[in-house]
Amino acid sequence: MSEPRVTHYVSLLSKKQIKRIALNLNFDMIGSPNFGRFVYDGDGSDTGTAGPNGSANIESVINRYFAKQKLTVKATAFDGRSDYGPFIDVGIPAGGLFAGAEDIKTAEEAALFGGTAGEAFNPCYHQACDTYVNNSDEGLDQMSDATADAVLQFAMTRTNRAPIVTL
């Protein structure tokens, strides 16, 4: 679920301001201790739920980065659980990364990403123990490098519209 501040921010935007936002890059839970490498499914080809026009491009940029690194990713749906929600609700393209929360890692996912099947991606999700100590340095390194690459790719795009990054 989106932070109330993000929902409030987007609700205050005029139509002109919305048109000036090129995209929303969302990087959520990128250091989960039993991490996965999930990319939001901008075109809906894997999950059946596409983001607004332009979201497929964000997915493509991130997937190209991971392919160059020879790291496997898996698509994740826009399910409304993160700060991208208010942006896609008003038609702003969105995309980004997610390393997993309270869901249990499957054997297939453990084969793709490493880690332990049958355990949560982040057993401390939204609990008092969800601190920097509850972190995978390996996952954070991989995901933060992908984050930096995506931010750089879109920041270098010539446009009169500004990207918005939510962490």
Q: Give the tens place of pLDDT for each residue, 17-40.
A: 999 999 999 998 899 999 999 999
Task: Assign 104 to helix, strand or coil.
Answer: strand
Q: Cβ(38)–Cβ(97) under 8 Å?
A: yes
CB-CB neighbours of 116 under 10 Å: 12
Q: Give the tens place of pLDDT for each residue, 70-129.
A: 999 999 999 888 899 999 999 999 999 999 999 999 999 999 999 999 999 999 998 999
Identify the domain containing residue 18 by its residue range. 4-166
pTM score: 0.91
Q: Give the tens place of pLDDT for each residue, 34-57.
A: 999 999 999 999 999 999 999 999
Please provide the average confidence, as pLDDT, over all residues in the chain. 92
CATH number of 17's domain: 3.40.630.10
How long is the chain?
A: 167
Partner residues linked to 40 by β-bridges? 76
E strand or H helix that includes residue 96 = strand 94-98
